[in-house]
């Protein structure tokens, strides 16, 4: 059992890099995507798997979180990008976000 586990879980860096490239390429060429996540307990701890894809590609990631922040980090495919455009600034003003926080952001 230990040898099988070692074979399946060791030296996966190239596989994970290719998996992340698949997500980036899929997002670049897709007009739409679907997203789903599912949770399960294993050895007394919650775990989640998130699926991002469409009819042409599927990407999966297992994490310990189901938060919106976690999902956005997965969706960014390891390349964090944040964009503050006019629409975001208008939304902040409409929602009454404190001026000091707007300036800090």
Structural domain contains residue 85: no
Q: What is the CATH number of the domain that holds 75?
A: 3.30.160
Give the global pTM.
0.66
* HSE-up (13 A, CA, CB side) for residue 2: 0
How do residues 32-48 score in pLDDT, each as one tens digit? 999 998 998 888 888 99
Structural domain contains residue 17: yes
How do residues 41-73 score in pLDDT, each as one tens digit? 888 888 999 999 999 999 999 888 888 888 888
How do residues 76-93 score in pLDDT, each as one tens digit? 876 777 778 899 889 888
Structural domain contains residue 102: no
- Domain residues for the domain of 14 are 3-80
Enter the DSSP assignment of 56.
S
């Amino acid at each position: 059992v230990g040898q099988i586990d070692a074979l399946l879980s060791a030296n996966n860096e190239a596989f994970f890099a290719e998996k992340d490239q698949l997500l980036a390429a899929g997002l670049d060429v897709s007009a739409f995507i679907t997203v789903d996540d599912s949770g399960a307990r294993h050895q007394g701890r919650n775990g989640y798997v998130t699926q991002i894809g469409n009819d042409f590609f599927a990407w999966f990631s297992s994490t310990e979180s189901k938060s919106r922040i976690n999902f956005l980090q997965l969706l960014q495919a390891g390349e964090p990008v944040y964009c503050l455009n006019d629409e975001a600034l208008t939304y902040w003003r409409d929602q009454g976000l404190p001026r000091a926080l707007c300036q800090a952001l």
